[in-house]
Amino acid sequence: MRVLVIGAGVGGLAIANGLAGNGHDVQVFEHSEALRTTGAGITVWSNGTAALRDLGVDIEASGRHLSSLRSLTETGRLLWEADLGEVTERLGSPTVQIARRALIAEMAAALPSDVLHFGRRCVGVVEHPDRVVVEFDDGTSATGDLLIGADGQRSVVRRELLGGEPAKPTGWASWQGLTRSDLPVAQGHQTLNIAGRNAHCGLIPTGGGMLHWWFDMPWKEGDPVLSVADLREVFRGWPDPVEQLLASVADDDLGFFPHIRHKVPQVWGGARSTLLGDAVHAMPPAVAQAANQTLEDAWLLTQYLSDVDGDLASRLRAYEQERRPRALKVSRTAALTSAQRSTPLQRLAKFPGWLATRSQVASLRSGSNVLRGFASRPAVQVA
Ligand SMILES: Cc1cc2nc3c(=O)[nH]c(=O)nc-3n(C[C@H](O)[C@H](O)[C@H](O)COP(=O)(O)OP(=O)(O)OC[C@H]3O[C@@H](n4cnc5c(N)ncnc54)[C@H](O)[C@@H]3O)c2cc1C
């Protein structure tokens, strides 16, 4: 089958690996002139590493294994600590923190050489009973048996296939970066989350002495975009090593993005098309699952397209129906998490380590298809 994929981000590269591995003729079209390798770090949880392993992409050598997830209040009081080593044992796959550019590079390197096409911006989609045609802004087009929209938050493919409203702001934003750091946390394997009354931050070792750090605060269109000097004021007096980190970074290190959330539709495409990743379920970063849910999509769609017998549209709808409830659940949790971190209950409660670990396992399982395995799913009729 000839498969056209729009977007060479995390989702586009993941599905291209899965489908190329199944013997499909996959062509990926990206509007940038090269792979987009900016961004900070990505936490690939057990569900994401399991998906990548099955898709044939190995990130273990390029990232940092995480062994613990620690949550503090802004006064430095420990709220809970989950043992990610035990999460790995229970779920059979590790948690790896990796620079986004390294993840993109690993996935691109695993593809055959003739799959990626740059400088091709999709502007239109026309579905016919026997083929699907994608139009590009340079006047060219491509024809395939199937189209997969992996073109991210402002997906043109979604707009063309489904119409509807663009993703909505949640009222929060992140200031983040990935910098080389001498702080001990950068050399370790522990993620630190600190929840304040009206602001949160996190520090995550990303391997090779690199540290991914983020600061989340309420923000709406028209509000100022804070500088490093502003962040030093807001986070003055926070637990170590927040002040040391902010003293060591500059405005050039700072990336800013408002949080958005997209309604997850019931159906994600037509008879010869579907979506994956942020194009269908853009969500805020609060539970660090956007990329993992995207890898889940790519993994499940690969399973449904592992052979070409049966009706394509039924397979696409089965993939969407199986994936949707889990992606929706994670998206809802992500939307609630920023606000709930600040509630008195969250701030006063202290959970024992075993409970934090078990709830991490339960939450990863509940948002995952890959951790349940494809063979164990209820049989889907492919007419
Ligand atoms: C430059 C960049 C930096 C990011 N940094 C981070 C980060 O630091 N931490 C984090 O957790 N997440 C980051 N993300 C988001 C993260 O990659 C996604 O949330 C998640 O991985 C979902 O992946 P996706 O493939 O759906 O979307 P994306 O990874 O956003 O990929 C979408 C791709 O589609 C391309 N595209 C868009 N429109 C068109 C079009 N019309 N025609 C052709 N191609 C098109 C884009 O250029 C992009 O390469 C970043 C995304 C980008 C694009």
Q: What is the Cα–Cα distance from 263 to 280, expressed in whole angstroms?
A: 8
Say if 299 falls within a structural domain: yes
Give the pLDDT confidence score for residue 130 in this predicted structure: 95
Which residues are registered as beta bridge partners of 126? Answer: 133
Which residues are registered as beta bridge partners of 69? Answer: 82, 191
The kind and range of the H/E element at 63 are none
Say if 34 falls within a structural domain: yes
Q: How remote is the CA of residue 244 from the centroid of ligand 1, in Å?
A: 31
Q: How remote is the CA of residue 222 from the centroid of ligand 1, in Å?
A: 24
CB 99 within 8 A of CB 107: no
141-144 vs 132-136, strand pairing mode: antiparallel
Q: What is the Cα–Cα distance from 120 to 200, expressed in whole angstroms?
A: 38
Q: How remote is the CA of residue 12 from the centroid of ligand 1, in Å?
A: 9
- Which of 45, 191, 278 for a ligand 1 pocket mutation test, highest count of atoms within 8 Å of Cβ? 278
Q: How remote is the CA of residue 343 from the centroid of ligand 1, in Å?
A: 32
**Protein residue with its CA nearest to atom 30 in ligand 1:** 152
- Rg, the chain, Cα only: 21
- Which of 5, 10, 98 for a ligand 1 pocket mutation test, highest count of atoms within 8 Å of Cβ? 10
Average pLDDT by consecutive 10-residue portion of the chain (383 residues)?
97 98 96 93 96 92 94 93 96 96 95 96 97 97 98 97 93 97 96 93 96 97 97 97 98 96 96 98 93 98 87 96 96 81 62 92 95 61 36
The model's pTM? 0.95
Please report the atom of ligand 1 found closest to the CA of residue 178. Answer: 8
Say if 376 falls within a structural domain: no
Say if 18 falls within a structural domain: yes
Number of folded domains that form the chain: 1
- Which of 151, 175, 191, 289 for a ligand 1 pocket mutation test, highest count of atoms within 8 Å of Cβ? 151
Please report the atom of ligand 1 found closest to the CA of residue 151. Answer: 34
Q: What is the Cα–Cα distance from 118 to 189, expressed in whole angstroms?
A: 36
Say if 247 falls within a structural domain: no
Give the pLDDT confidence score for residue 309 in this predicted structure: 74
Cα distances (Å, whole numbers) of residue 276 to 32, 73, 84, 294: 19, 36, 28, 6
Q: How remote is the CA of residue 89 from the centroid of ligand 1, in Å?
A: 31
**Protein residue with its CA nearest to atom 3 in ligand 1:** 39
**Protein residue with its CA nearest to atom 27 in ligand 1:** 152
Q: How remote is the CA of residue 172 from the centroid of ligand 1, in Å?
A: 19
Instruction: State the residue for tokens 């900070």.
Output: 40
DSSP letter (8 states) at residue 224: -
Say if 63 falls within a structural domain: yes
Q: What is the Cα–Cα distance from 91 to 48, expressed in whole angstroms?
A: 11
Say if 70 falls within a structural domain: yes
Q: How remote is the CA of residue 10 from the centroid of ligand 1, in Å?
A: 7
Query: Residue 60: which region, alpha, beta or left (left: phi > 0; alpha: psi -120 to 50)?
Result: alpha
User: Ligand 1: which residues within 6 Å by Cβ?
Assistant: 6-12, 29-32, 36, 38-40, 42, 100, 121-122, 150-152, 156, 277-279, 285, 290-291, 294
Q: Which domain holds residue 351?
A: 2-167+261-366
Locate 323 and state its tokens. Answer: 């994936």
Q: In this structure, what CATH number is given to the domain that contains residue 78? A: 3.50.50.60
Q: What is the Cα–Cα distance from 131 to 84, expressed in whole angstroms?
A: 46
Please report the atom of ligand 1 found closest to the CA of residue 43. Answer: 11
Give the pLDDT confidence score for residue 38 in this predicted structure: 87
Say if 232 falls within a structural domain: no
- Which of 5, 30, 204 for a ligand 1 pocket mutation test, highest count of atoms within 8 Å of Cβ? 30
Please report the atom of ligand 1 found closest to the CA of residue 155. Answer: 38
